[in-house]
Structure 1
């Protein structure tokens, strides 16, 4: 972990996506944060010691999905599958529910993490990350802590390294998403943690690789009252996401290997997205924080 000396910074951005507004001054206290995203090897140790079963490894709830048969409620998760060039596609059609997909089998039951022990763990839902955090004696970062750390000490810069996009600085998508990835950065999917240069605080993969969970419930934009002095997690569970107002969601940060200049482009510290608490996918992971000694 790295100790981050707290300070005041501007959270959000007024000239990017609407959900990043309104940018405002925020102060955070000292804290410590993991150098890297939690890896498959680390998560495997947690599972070995506790016997924990992730949400993706459990059958779908009868209460939540009463219309499904027992077979259709088999465990699984959401996996990205690229679109073939020339093939017609619709928004989000690159996401597929795959039976047997979970942290051990990222692409489905016939896939494995063998040889990827040092890659970030994926298919981890919010509650899975919380369970790991309790076992580790740590916690998920707040959105303010995460963004402050991601900026690496730079003031009001677009990216974690400056104002110019550089495909070799992080694991993102190069080319036309979702049909062609030129892999200028050397990776099509996840990369081993620490494969790219750290930010100014010595933290790796604060941009790209996988999205990272935060504690905060998702509100569409920054509340002008609740995020000013060492902001804490809102107790309000209501979703303020106009796209899906009936589902409780948490803020995820950092972008992933699927963020491209022509789509998403949320590989910036101020960028944010919402994810349902019960959903893990093939591009979401996490890292943890503690109070500073």
Structure 2
């Protein structure tokens, strides 16, 4: 995005070393679809979008009735364990690895890493470009996912997510599919469970508590990512569609999405520099970026990666 709106995820700048979808290694589809927990078949009509005016350039509205053909979506974001299986089977190298660095939130870094990694994102100094940070060492060298197999994989670009889908015989959800599934059958609700962020004081998602970006009280139990099965599922059985990690969608991003896409199976395919992201992350906070609402939208360029970007997969119908 270039509109100046507050953002929770950093992006690479034009001209920086970057891989493209065409440079990815040739992948062989998995012999059988990857075993995972799927939602029931979802489809039909729902009210998409919101009339929230906080981020007008995000294009959250106007609210409109749309219809979506039957599809199924993974109940969980793709985990470290699942992505490791993909890498072992294919030898795939992610964009973060090819570029040699990725963005890591400063609050997750050791003091030594903060001292040695001085390159920071413009206007968002809490994002540090850490050499050799990628999915298997999320905070850079000397960090590991060995104790986080059930956490969502991060430092994943849109290109990486598409490569995983090709191999696993799945696909990324469209924005309309993602939002319909995230709503869990609730019409017009702000969150997957209703309109209150913490009903009766109960934390229902992994977002920032305290004062962003300096103090996270971690009242929800997590400073960084939470396991993909943390908290309660929504009405369609989906976990963590609010907070935790941003999730890539298939659509190219446009702030005019609700004005230019069809009401039947909405999909934005027009050429654009960025791809859509949904769901917010563990860094979202009401004071800065409350995009953990189900209608909220964001975007990033296809080769960008960061410590709060992952994905979940979908498939058509029940096949």
> Which residue pairs with 1:179 in the alignment?
214
State the secondary structure of the residue aligned to 1:147.
Answer: helix
Give the aligned partner of residue 49 of structure 2: 12
1:35-87 per-residue CA deviation (whole Å, 9 max, x = no partner) reads 1000000000000000100011114xxxxxxxxxxxxxxx010111139xxxx
Map of 1:37 onto structure 2? 77
Q: Distance in 2 between matches of 1:273 and 1:133?
A: 21
In the alignment, the residues of structure 2 paired with residue 227 and residue 107 of structure 1 have an alpha-carbon distance, to the nearest angstrom, of 41
String of CA shifts for 1:236-280, please: whole Å, max 9, x gaps. 113xxxxxxxxx101100000000111101111000101111101
CA deviation after TM superposition for structure 1 residue 23, in Å? 2.1
Mapped contact 2:245–2:309 kept (Cα < 8 A)? yes
Matches of 2:284 and 2:262 in 1, distance apart? Answer: 27
CA RMSD of aligned residues (A): 1.6
Matched, 1:142 2:174: yes
Confirm or deny: 8 A CA contact 1:40 1:113 kept in the other structure. yes
1:193-240 deviations in Å (ceiling 9; x for gaps): 1111001111101111100000111101424241310123x33113xx
Q: Among residues 136, 148, 165, which one is paired with 1:133 in the alignment?
A: 165
Unaligned runs of 5+ in 2: 1-37, 109-121
Q: Within the alignment, does 1:194 sit opposite 2:240 as a pair?
A: no
Q: Distance in 1 between matches of 2:62 and 2:157?
A: 28
Count residues with an aligned counterpart.
263
Q: TM-score, normalised by structure 1?
A: 0.86
Residue of structure 2 equivalent to 1:69: none
Where does residue 235 of structure 1 map in the other structure? 269
Aligned mates of 1:118, 1:108 — CA distance in 2: 19
Q: 1:220 & 1:203 partners in 2: Cα distance?
A: 26
Moved over 3 A (4+): none
Counterpart residue number, 2:22: none
Q: Which among 300, 303, 306 is matched to residue 278 of structure 1?
A: 303
Distance 1:258 1:229, change over 3 A: same
1:100 to 132, 152, 157: 132
Give the alignment of 1:1-293 within 5 angstroms. 1-16=38-53, 17-18=55-56, 19=58, 20-59=60-99, 75-82=100-107, 91-166=123-198, 168-232=203-267, 234-238=268-272, 248-293=273-318
- TM-score normalised by L of structure 2: 0.80
Q: CA deviation at 1:7?
A: 1.7
2-structure distance, mates of 1:189, 1:95: 14
Unaligned runs of 5+ in 1: 60-74, 84-89, 239-247
